[in-house]
Amino acid sequence: MPSVTRKPQARRQERRGQIERRLLDATERLMRAGASFTELSVDRLSGEAGMSRANFYIYFEDKGDLLRRLAAQVFGDLADSAELWWSVAWRHDPGDIRAAMAGIIAGYRRHQPVLVALNEMAAYDPLVAATYRELLSGISGRLTQVIEDGQADGSIRRELPAATTASVLTWMVERACQQNLPVRPADYDAELTTTLTEIAWGALYLTPARG
Protein backbone atom coordinates (compact mmCIF):
# COMPACT_ATOMS: atom_id res chain seq x y z
CA MET A 1 0.00 0.00 0.00
CA PRO A 2 2.71 2.65 0.80
CA SER A 3 4.25 2.20 -2.65
CA VAL A 4 0.85 2.83 -4.27
CA THR A 5 0.38 6.12 -2.40
CA ARG A 6 3.93 7.29 -3.07
CA LYS A 7 3.56 7.14 -6.86
CA PRO A 8 0.91 9.89 -7.15
CA GLN A 9 2.91 12.02 -4.71
CA ALA A 10 6.06 11.54 -6.77
CA ARG A 11 4.19 12.44 -9.96
CA ARG A 12 2.76 15.54 -8.32
CA GLN A 13 6.22 16.63 -7.16
CA GLU A 14 7.62 16.05 -10.65
CA ARG A 15 4.75 18.03 -12.15
CA ARG A 16 5.31 20.85 -9.65
CA GLY A 17 9.00 20.95 -10.55
CA GLN A 18 8.19 21.23 -14.25
CA ILE A 19 5.69 24.04 -13.64
CA GLU A 20 8.14 25.91 -11.41
CA ARG A 21 10.79 25.70 -14.12
CA ARG A 22 8.35 27.00 -16.75
CA LEU A 23 7.36 29.87 -14.48
CA LEU A 24 11.00 30.64 -13.71
CA ASP A 25 11.73 30.92 -17.44
CA ALA A 26 8.58 32.99 -18.02
CA THR A 27 9.34 35.37 -15.14
CA GLU A 28 12.90 35.93 -16.34
CA ARG A 29 11.77 36.54 -19.92
CA LEU A 30 9.19 39.12 -18.86
CA MET A 31 11.57 40.91 -16.51
CA ARG A 32 14.34 41.02 -19.11
CA ALA A 33 11.80 42.66 -21.40
CA GLY A 34 11.42 45.44 -18.86
CA ALA A 35 8.65 44.37 -16.49
CA SER A 36 9.13 44.51 -12.74
CA PHE A 37 8.02 41.56 -10.66
CA THR A 38 5.65 43.67 -8.57
CA GLU A 39 3.73 44.80 -11.65
CA LEU A 40 3.45 41.33 -13.20
CA SER A 41 -0.03 39.88 -12.73
CA VAL A 42 -0.72 36.20 -12.18
CA ASP A 43 -2.60 36.22 -15.50
CA ARG A 44 0.43 37.51 -17.35
CA LEU A 45 2.85 35.14 -15.63
CA SER A 46 0.71 32.09 -16.16
CA GLY A 47 -0.05 33.06 -19.77
CA GLU A 48 3.66 33.51 -20.53
CA ALA A 49 4.30 30.07 -19.01
CA GLY A 50 1.55 28.49 -21.14
CA MET A 51 -0.86 27.66 -18.35
CA SER A 52 -4.14 28.93 -16.98
CA ARG A 53 -4.61 31.19 -13.98
CA ALA A 54 -6.56 28.37 -12.31
CA ASN A 55 -3.64 25.99 -12.82
CA PHE A 56 -1.29 28.53 -11.24
CA TYR A 57 -3.36 28.56 -8.07
CA ILE A 58 -3.34 24.78 -7.85
CA TYR A 59 0.38 24.96 -7.10
CA PHE A 60 0.96 28.42 -5.62
CA GLU A 61 -0.85 30.54 -3.05
CA ASP A 62 0.17 33.83 -4.65
CA LYS A 63 3.09 35.59 -6.34
CA GLY A 64 5.05 35.66 -3.09
CA ASP A 65 4.76 31.88 -2.84
CA LEU A 66 5.91 31.59 -6.45
CA LEU A 67 8.92 33.84 -5.82
CA ARG A 68 9.95 31.83 -2.75
CA ARG A 69 9.88 28.63 -4.78
CA LEU A 70 11.75 30.20 -7.68
CA ALA A 71 14.36 31.44 -5.22
CA ALA A 72 14.89 27.88 -3.99
CA GLN A 73 15.51 26.76 -7.58
CA VAL A 74 17.92 29.60 -8.29
CA PHE A 75 19.90 29.13 -5.09
CA GLY A 76 20.00 25.41 -5.78
CA ASP A 77 21.73 26.24 -9.08
CA LEU A 78 24.17 28.57 -7.28
CA ALA A 79 24.95 25.89 -4.68
CA ASP A 80 25.64 23.42 -7.50
CA SER A 81 28.28 25.84 -8.80
CA ALA A 82 29.77 26.20 -5.33
CA GLU A 83 30.12 22.41 -5.19
CA LEU A 84 32.80 22.73 -7.87
CA TRP A 85 34.95 23.83 -4.94
CA TRP A 86 33.27 22.25 -1.94
CA SER A 87 33.17 18.72 -3.33
CA VAL A 88 36.93 18.71 -4.00
CA ALA A 89 38.09 21.08 -1.25
CA TRP A 90 40.52 18.42 -0.06
CA ARG A 91 42.67 19.26 -3.09
CA HIS A 92 43.43 22.74 -1.67
CA ASP A 93 43.48 24.15 -5.19
CA PRO A 94 42.61 27.82 -5.82
CA GLY A 95 41.55 26.76 -9.31
CA ASP A 96 38.59 24.98 -7.74
CA ILE A 97 37.55 28.17 -5.95
CA ARG A 98 37.89 30.07 -9.22
CA ALA A 99 35.67 27.55 -11.02
CA ALA A 100 33.05 27.86 -8.28
CA MET A 101 33.12 31.66 -8.30
CA ALA A 102 32.86 31.76 -12.08
CA GLY A 103 29.86 29.42 -11.94
CA ILE A 104 28.17 31.45 -9.22
CA ILE A 105 28.67 34.70 -11.13
CA ALA A 106 27.33 33.10 -14.31
CA GLY A 107 24.34 31.89 -12.31
CA TYR A 108 23.70 35.38 -10.99
CA ARG A 109 23.85 36.69 -14.55
CA ARG A 110 21.47 34.00 -15.78
CA HIS A 111 18.92 34.44 -12.99
CA GLN A 112 19.41 38.15 -12.38
CA PRO A 113 15.73 39.12 -12.86
CA VAL A 114 14.50 36.71 -10.19
CA LEU A 115 17.31 37.67 -7.82
CA VAL A 116 16.50 41.36 -8.25
CA ALA A 117 12.82 40.62 -7.54
CA LEU A 118 13.78 38.56 -4.51
CA ASN A 119 15.91 41.37 -3.16
CA GLU A 120 13.13 43.91 -3.69
CA MET A 121 10.35 41.82 -2.13
CA ALA A 122 12.51 40.81 0.83
CA ALA A 123 12.43 44.46 1.89
CA TYR A 124 8.68 44.38 2.62
CA ASP A 125 7.55 40.72 2.59
CA PRO A 126 8.62 38.91 5.79
CA LEU A 127 8.13 35.45 4.28
CA VAL A 128 10.31 36.29 1.28
CA ALA A 129 12.93 37.82 3.58
CA ALA A 130 12.91 34.69 5.75
CA THR A 131 13.29 32.46 2.68
CA TYR A 132 16.21 34.58 1.47
CA ARG A 133 17.99 34.23 4.82
CA GLU A 134 17.29 30.50 5.03
CA LEU A 135 18.66 29.82 1.56
CA LEU A 136 21.85 31.76 2.28
CA SER A 137 22.13 30.10 5.70
CA GLY A 138 22.00 26.72 3.98
CA ILE A 139 24.90 27.70 1.72
CA SER A 140 26.79 29.14 4.68
CA GLY A 141 26.25 25.91 6.61
CA ARG A 142 27.76 23.85 3.80
CA LEU A 143 30.76 26.20 3.63
CA THR A 144 31.15 25.93 7.41
CA GLN A 145 31.72 22.19 7.00
CA VAL A 146 34.32 22.82 4.28
CA ILE A 147 36.16 25.22 6.59
CA GLU A 148 36.02 22.81 9.54
CA ASP A 149 37.37 19.99 7.38
CA GLY A 150 40.21 22.24 6.21
CA GLN A 151 40.99 23.20 9.80
CA ALA A 152 41.08 19.52 10.74
CA ASP A 153 43.62 18.69 8.01
CA GLY A 154 45.69 21.80 8.75
CA SER A 155 45.15 23.61 5.46
CA ILE A 156 42.80 26.35 6.75
CA ARG A 157 43.55 28.79 9.56
CA ARG A 158 42.43 27.27 12.83
CA GLU A 159 41.99 30.61 14.58
CA LEU A 160 39.02 31.41 12.32
CA PRO A 161 35.54 30.77 13.77
CA ALA A 162 34.20 28.49 11.04
CA ALA A 163 30.51 29.44 11.10
CA THR A 164 31.15 33.19 11.29
CA THR A 165 33.76 33.04 8.54
CA ALA A 166 31.43 31.03 6.31
CA SER A 167 28.60 33.51 6.87
CA VAL A 168 30.84 36.49 6.08
CA LEU A 169 32.17 34.93 2.88
CA THR A 170 28.70 33.83 1.76
CA TRP A 171 27.21 37.30 2.21
CA MET A 172 30.28 38.92 0.66
CA VAL A 173 29.80 36.95 -2.55
CA GLU A 174 26.04 37.53 -2.53
CA ARG A 175 26.34 41.29 -2.04
CA ALA A 176 29.18 41.64 -4.55
CA CYS A 177 27.08 39.92 -7.21
CA GLN A 178 23.81 41.66 -6.34
CA GLN A 179 25.30 45.14 -6.25
CA ASN A 180 27.74 44.95 -9.15
CA LEU A 181 26.43 42.62 -11.84
CA PRO A 182 23.22 44.52 -12.72
CA VAL A 183 25.23 47.64 -13.57
CA ARG A 184 28.35 46.07 -15.07
CA PRO A 185 28.92 44.54 -18.52
CA ALA A 186 29.65 40.84 -18.93
CA ASP A 187 33.38 41.43 -19.41
CA TYR A 188 33.50 42.52 -15.76
CA ASP A 189 32.78 38.96 -14.64
CA ALA A 190 36.34 37.71 -15.05
CA GLU A 191 37.65 40.53 -12.85
CA LEU A 192 35.07 39.78 -10.16
CA THR A 193 35.86 36.06 -10.35
CA THR A 194 39.55 36.73 -9.77
CA THR A 195 38.89 39.17 -6.95
CA LEU A 196 36.51 36.88 -5.05
CA THR A 197 38.86 33.93 -5.54
CA GLU A 198 41.84 35.84 -4.14
CA ILE A 199 39.84 37.12 -1.17
CA ALA A 200 38.43 33.69 -0.28
CA TRP A 201 41.77 31.93 -0.67
CA GLY A 202 43.71 34.58 1.22
CA ALA A 203 41.19 34.63 4.07
CA LEU A 204 41.12 30.88 4.55
CA TYR A 205 44.29 29.14 3.49
CA LEU A 206 47.71 29.11 5.09
CA THR A 207 49.66 28.85 1.83
CA PRO A 208 49.76 31.36 -1.04
CA ALA A 209 47.72 30.56 -4.12
CA ARG A 210 49.79 28.67 -6.67
CA GLY A 211 50.38 30.50 -9.92
Alpha carbon 173 to chain centroid, angstroms: 11
* Count of other CB atoms within 10 angstroms of residue 147: 22
Pick the closest to residue 60 from 30, 27, 34, 33 (CA basis): 27
Q: Which residues contact residue 62 at a Cβ distance below 8 angstroms, ignoring those fewer than 6 apart?
A: 42
pLDDT at 120: 85
Q: Is 48 left (phi over 0), alpha (psi -120 to 50) or beta?
A: alpha
| Alpha-carbon separation of residue 5 from 9, 14, 15, 17 (angstroms) | 7, 15, 16, 19
pLDDT at 28: 84
pLDDT at 97: 97
pLDDT by position in tens, the chain (length 211): 555 555 777 877 787 788 888 888 888 899 888 888 888 899 999 999 999 898 888 888 888 888 888 899 899 999 999 999 999 999 999 999 999 999 999 999 999 888 888 888 888 889 999 999 999 999 999 999 999 999 999 999 999 999 999 999 999 999 999 999 999 999 999 999 999 999 999 999 988 766 4
Handedness of CA 197, 151, 174, 73 (dihedral sign): positive
Distance CA 37, CA 56 (A): 16
Q: Give me the domains of the chain, ranges plus CATH numbers.
A: 1-60 (1.10.10.60), 63-211 (1.10.357.10)
